[in-house]
Amino acid sequence: MTRKLKSIQSRLEKLTTFPAMPELAQKILSLGPRPEMNELVTIVEIDPGLAAQMIRQAASPFFGYRGKVKSVRDAITRVLGVDRAMNLAFGVAAGKGLRSPADGPVGRKAIWVHAAYSAALMQSLAECLPRDAEASSGMSYLSGLMHNIGLLLLGHLFPTELSALNKAILDNPKVPVIDLEQGLFMTDHTEIGMWLLRKWNMPGEVITAVHKHHDVEYRGEYAVYANLALLADRLLQRLDMGDAGSEELPDAMLSALGLQEDDVTGALQNLLEARSDLDSLANHLATAA
């Protein structure tokens, strides 16, 4: 191991200061789990880019709304609902503090494209779950947006080394990305993302999705969010997107969630109808950071 890599690992081990949660995200989180719609509208409208993206998302074919969405209030009351709108707004705002390098397989652009697709897909999968499943579509959406935030944090803290990781991924396409991370950083995005979200006092559901979304066997607390993230990652691998390393949908996980493979693949097909809107959201997320 080179001296440089040892230095990276030493810096990670001693790391005690993480980026602060962006101010807009703090304001959204301060509204609590059941915010008043007027309060959420007021905060979203502070950021014109966020407001425009919320309106565009609500008008997307993904939601099937046939009327016109002219304002943030329309987007929330007619299409998204307060829960889903708040989680979309928070996810967009939270990523703004992390300035990772833009290009490469795990650069900022690729991560936000994957995040936008994962969020929409996890939301759709959550709506396919049995009625007694303890999962909300809004929390699923937020978990999808945030589940790879550890890669953004690695790029924010170590931009030069993230470029080395990008090169390693391109040079070793058959090696799982998470193994390459361990070799370079002696940790990976699931662990460092978990550390950040704990510092930010994020909900346990999201922290679990971040930490356990590569763990096929995980069935512990909030497993539904981690398991949905894993399924979404593997479905998106079929579009050559993300770092899942496999397209297989584990039978045991589908059974534990009460899902049929047809439901899951159908959700992916529905997602493809909204690709232009998801790409727009991803571009906003990548450029706003």
Amino acid of residue 154:
L
The answer on 74 and 121 residing in a single domain is no
The answer on 171 and 35 residing in a single domain is no
d(CA 49, CA 96): 12
15 occurs within a structural domain: no
Q: Which domain holds residue 56?
A: 20-97
Q: pTM (2 decimals)?
A: 0.87
Could you read off the pLDDT of 67-109 as tens digits, one per residue?
899 999 999 999 988 888 898 888 888 877 788 898 999 999 9
The Cα-based distances of 191 to 22, 111, 145 in angstroms read: 21, 17, 17
pLDDT at 146 over 70: yes
The answer on 118 and 48 residing in a single domain is no
State the CATH number of the domain containing residue 200.
1.10.3210.10
pLDDT at 9 over 60: no
Q: In the chain, how many domains are there?
A: 2
The answer on 207 and 167 residing in a single domain is yes
pLDDT at 15 over 90: no
The answer on 105 and 91 residing in a single domain is no
- At residue 114, φ and ψ (nearest 5 deg) are -60, -40
| 17 — pLDDT class (breaks 50, 70, 90) | low
Amino acid of residue 247:
E
* pLDDT at residue 276, rounded to an integer: 83
Min mean pLDDT across 30-44, 87-101, 156-170 is at 87-101
10 occurs within a structural domain: no
The answer on 120 and 216 residing in a single domain is yes
The answer on 142 and 43 residing in a single domain is no
Could you read off the pLDDT of 235-257 as tens digits, one per residue?
999 999 988 889 999 999 999 99
Residues near 103 by beta carbon (within 8 Å), at least 6 away in sequence:
109, 166
> Which one of 78, 97, 116 terminates a domain?
97
Conformational region of residue 57, where left means phi above 0, alpha means psi within -120 to 50, and beta covers everything else: alpha
14 occurs within a structural domain: no
pLDDT at 42 over 70: yes
207 occurs within a structural domain: yes
Could you read off the pLDDT of 188-208 as tens digits, one per residue?
999 989 988 988 889 999 999
> Of residues 276 and 218, which shows the higher confidence score?
218
The Cα-based distances of 156 to 44, 152, 206 in angstroms read: 25, 6, 20
> Which one of 52, 70, 97 terminates a domain?
97
Q: What is the mean pLDDT of residues 134-147?
A: 90
Min mean pLDDT across 92-106, 155-169, 256-270, 273-287 is at 273-287
The answer on 159 and 117 residing in a single domain is yes
The answer on 208 and 129 residing in a single domain is yes
* pLDDT at residue 8, rounded to an integer: 56
pLDDT at 137 over 60: yes
| 5 — pLDDT class (breaks 50, 70, 90) | very low
> Which one of 62, 97, 132 terminates a domain?
97
The answer on 194 and 70 residing in a single domain is no
The answer on 137 and 272 residing in a single domain is yes
d(CA 26, CA 199): 13
The answer on 146 and 64 residing in a single domain is no
> Of residues 125 and 279, which shows the higher confidence score?
125
Contact 88, 143 (CB under 8 A): no
